[in-house]
């Protein structure tokens, strides 16, 4: 019934029959079009799903609006002198509730052990289990792979009801920041055992210990969050209800609905932004810049697309350094940045790790010596043609044919991305010539895009992104990690560029690069005492990817435009984990935040963060 009503309201709204409503200051109402795939926060890696988990289940620590770590379910914590044992002292009196708000049990250290066991149980196929491996928890990966069968041998234990302990194989300086990710969230043990793979299939098959309870969950109809009145930090939860109504045309209708008083938030896409700048400039606000994601172009070293695109010929070409550099030098990254037409230079990145993500001794990671001359590898048409000439000679000798077909993949329902690849095709072919390269645009599906394109290897070149999982530059090496099949011992591809598969081939050029790169990453990971040395080693490893044109850095996350009744600078802030997805600490205004208010809030936040 609610779904039908939402559709009817949308039609009435379009023809002007719905009167403007008075905002209910206690309820945040929005439209959504993307349904969640699961409520199980222990298995999903997608932000759309993680928003749910972030607001219904708490983590050991969280972050305030300035990006400072603060206590959450853990009141205090410490590490041993050797850095191998981390102990968290839990808050007493925190309870689990069901979707009806009824108390179920007290939250204890055993629930964190149960959560980790669930994540590391291979049959549940948790997409975030790798975070636990990165955390170096003793025997975590061995248990996941079945090499260790007794979970008591895994480095996590409940010392008592309120004392949780993690044991690491190697020191991990950034361990506390990792606990803000889903992999380390608690679950009520008896419920996890009872539900198994069905945990989180609906709002009744999961329990709540966070700021909100998901009272209503009707897929493609409504998600209604209500404040957990018994929440341990209820005084910092100001929005009483969050009512999310499904509408397949949410992206189009939400801005109109906002003007009519039907919703309290709407994204403003580029295709309507000019109209809003003309008619409603005072209501346009910009989201807080998010350092959590970095965008870069990957080359696929093991393409799995149709024979008509000649994947074998592409493999010969992509393993040639001069060929990759010809494309990298020919690409005008600003020209293709259609998603932010006003100030694209503010988004441009010459590194994979975003600026301001990490610093050491007052120096930003991206300003370390390894990156001193990194800009020489980017847009330069003269150099592009020099690389082309060398590549033609070398690839002809290697048996490649021209033009090389380059399948440039994008998401079909993303208009900005579609415009972007059109420009890139024209620009690359203009600089390099269609005798050398033929750019073929491939529109990937709107649903399950990643699994059907990047993870399936259906591209020659594709814009990818990566989000930080913890507060250390090591997190930015994860997309390019060495991924070995435990059964065959062969490289199975890392689903970003599949370059590690080249170690199982006779391609000496790529093998030599990979051997050196993986050695540098291993050296950096091993350095846990001297943080400055550690950061410099990671910078050197990242520079190797760029200097060898394995990856083409593109841009940081776009701080999109919106109309909203929430001051975004009140919310939690961290360039990793799920804290940014919480509604905690935020107020709902009776009127929309104005552009002037948004700027004032930003300046106050910036001043406080600088201090």
Q: Please check the confidence at residue 55 and state whether its pLDDT lies above 50.
A: yes
| Range 238-262 average pLDDT | 95
Nearest alpha carbon to residue 186 among 69, 83, 292, 94: 94
Residues of the chain with CATH 3.90.76.10: 36-212
CA separation for the pair 211, 582 (Å, rounded): 9
CA separation for the pair 118, 144 (Å, rounded): 10
Return all residues near 603 (Cβ < 8 A) that are at least 6 apart. Answer: none
HSE on the CB side for 448, CA within 13 Å?
Answer: 4
Q: How many Å separate Cα 328 from the centre of its chain?
A: 24
Nearest alpha carbon to residue 467 among 289, 292, 290, 350: 292
CB 565 within 8 A of CB 23: yes
CA separation for the pair 96, 499 (Å, rounded): 45
Architecture of domain 36-212: Alpha-Beta Complex (3.90)
| Range 528-536 average pLDDT | 92
Q: What is the DSSP string of 51-89?
A: HHHHHHS--SEEE-TTS-EEESSEEEEEE-TTS-EEEEE
Q: Please check the confidence at residue 22 and state whether its pLDDT lies above 60.
A: no
Report pLDDT for 1: 38
Report pLDDT for 13: 37
The first and second tokens of residue 234, run together, are 């209820």
Residues of the chain with CATH 3.10.105.10: 293-556
341-366: string of b/e by CB count within 10 Å (b at 16+)? eeebeebbbbbbbbbebbebeeebbb
**pLDDT tens-digit readout, 407-443:** 999 999 888 899 999 999 999 999 999 999 999 999 9
Beta bridge partners of 407: 440
Beta strands in 424-471 (DSSP E): 437-444, 461-467
Query: How does residue 9 score in pLDDT terms, banded at 50, 70 and 90?
Result: very low
| Range 17-41 average pLDDT | 74
Report pLDDT for 291: 63
**pLDDT tens-digit readout, 316-359:** 999 999 999 999 999 999 887 766 666 778 788 999 998 888 88
**pLDDT tens-digit readout, 453-468:** 999 999 999 999 998 8
As a whole number of Å, the end-to-end CA separation of the chain is: 52
Q: Any idea what DSSP says for residue 353? A: S
CA separation for the pair 305, 315 (Å, rounded): 12
Nearest alpha carbon to residue 350 among 300, 408, 294: 294
Return all residues near 391 (Cβ < 8 A) that are at least 6 apart. Answer: 317, 320, 322, 323, 326
Q: Please check the confidence at residue 19 and state whether its pLDDT lies above 70.
A: no
| Range 204-228 average pLDDT | 97
Map residue 178 onto helix, strand or coil. Answer: helix
Q: Which residue has the higher pLDDT, 487 or 67?
A: 67
Q: Please check the confidence at residue 493 and state whether its pLDDT lies above 90.
A: no
Decide: residue 482, CB within 10 A, 0-12 exposed, 13-18 middle, 19+ buried. middle
CA separation for the pair 540, 536 (Å, rounded): 6
Report pLDDT for 292: 65
Q: In what order do the strands lie in the sheet with 265-268?
A: 265-268, 561-564, 285-286
| Range 31-55 average pLDDT | 93
Q: Please check the confidence at residue 303 and state whether its pLDDT lies above 70.
A: yes
CA separation for the pair 329, 336 (Å, rounded): 14
Architecture of domain 293-556: Roll (3.10)
Query: How does residue 8 score in pLDDT terms, banded at 50, 70 and 90?
Result: very low
């Amino acid at each position: 019934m609610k779904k039908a009503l939402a559709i009817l309201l949308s039609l009435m709204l379009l023809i002007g029959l719905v009167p403007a409503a008075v905002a209910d200051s206690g309820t945040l109402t929005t439209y959504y079009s993307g349904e969640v795939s699961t409520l199980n926060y222990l298995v999903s890696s997608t932000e759309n799903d993680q928003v749910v988990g972030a607001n219904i289940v708490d983590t050991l620590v969280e972050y305030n609006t300035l990006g400072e770590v603060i206590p959450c379910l853990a009141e205090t914590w410490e590490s041993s002198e050797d850095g191998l044992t981390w102990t968290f002292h839990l808050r007493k009196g925190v309870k689990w509730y069901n979707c009806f708000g009824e108390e179920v049990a007290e939250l204890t250290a055993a629930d964190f052990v149960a959560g980790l066991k669930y994540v590391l149980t291979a049959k549940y196929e948790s997409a975030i289990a790798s975070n636990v491996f990165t955390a170096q928890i003793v025997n975590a990966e061995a248990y996941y792979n079945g090499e260790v069968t007794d979970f008591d041998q895994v480095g996590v234990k409940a010392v008592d009801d309120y004392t949780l302990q993690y044991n690491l194989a190697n020191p991990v300086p950034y361990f506390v920041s990792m606990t803000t990710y889903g992999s380390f969230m608690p679950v009520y043990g008896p419920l996890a055992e009872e539900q198994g793979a069905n945990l989180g299939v609906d709002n009744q098959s999961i329990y709540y210990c966070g700021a909100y309870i998901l009272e209503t969950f009707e897929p493609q109809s409504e998600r209604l969050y209500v404040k957990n009145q018994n929440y341990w930090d209820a005084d910092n939860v100001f929005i009483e209800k969050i009512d999310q109504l499904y509408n397949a045309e949410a992206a189009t209708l939400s801005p109109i609905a906002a003007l009519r008083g039907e919703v309290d938030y709407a994204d403003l896409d580029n295709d309507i932004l000019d109209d809003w700048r003309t008619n409603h400039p005072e209501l346009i606000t910009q989201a807080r810049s998010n350092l959590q994601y970095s965008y870069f172009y990957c080359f696929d070293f093991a393409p799995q697309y149709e024979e008509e695109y000649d994947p074998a010929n592409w493999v010969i070409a992509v393993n040639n350094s001069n060929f990759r550099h010809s494309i990298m030098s020919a690409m005008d990254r600003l020209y293709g940045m259609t998603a932010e037409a006003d100030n694209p230079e503010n988004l441009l990145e010459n590194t994979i790790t975003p600026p301001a993500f990490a610093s050491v001794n007052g120096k930003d990671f991206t300003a370390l010596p390894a990156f001193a001359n990194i800009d020489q590898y980017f847009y330069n048409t003269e150099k592009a043609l020099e690389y082309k000439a060398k590549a033609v000679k070398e690839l002809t000798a290697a048996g490649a044919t021209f033009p090389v077909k380059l399948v440039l993949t994008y998401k079909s329902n993303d208009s900005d991305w579609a415009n972007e690849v059109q420009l890139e095709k024209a620009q690359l072919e203009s600089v390099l010539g269609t005798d050398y390269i033929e750019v073929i645009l491939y529109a990937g599906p709107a649903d399950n895009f990643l699994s059907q394109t990047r993870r399936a290897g259906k591209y020659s070149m594709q814009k990818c992104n990566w989000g930080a999982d913890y507060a250390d530059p090591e997190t930015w090496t994860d997309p390019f990690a060495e991924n070995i099949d435990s059964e065959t011992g062969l490289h199975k591809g890392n689903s970003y560029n599949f370059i590690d598969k080249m170690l199982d081939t006779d391609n000496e050029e790529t093998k030599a690069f990979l051997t050196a790169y993986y050695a540098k990453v291993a050296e950096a990971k091993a350095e846990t005492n001297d943080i400055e040395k550690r950061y410099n080693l990671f910078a050197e490893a990242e520079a190797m990817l760029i200097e060898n044109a394995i990856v083409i850095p593109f841009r940081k996350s776009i701080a999109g435009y919106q109309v909203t009744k929430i001051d975004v600078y009140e919310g939690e802030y961290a360039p990793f984990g799920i804290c940014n997805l919480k509604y905690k600490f935020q107020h709902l205004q009776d009127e929309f935040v104005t552009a002037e208010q948004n700027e004032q809030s930003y300046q106050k936040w910036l001043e406080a963060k600088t201090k």
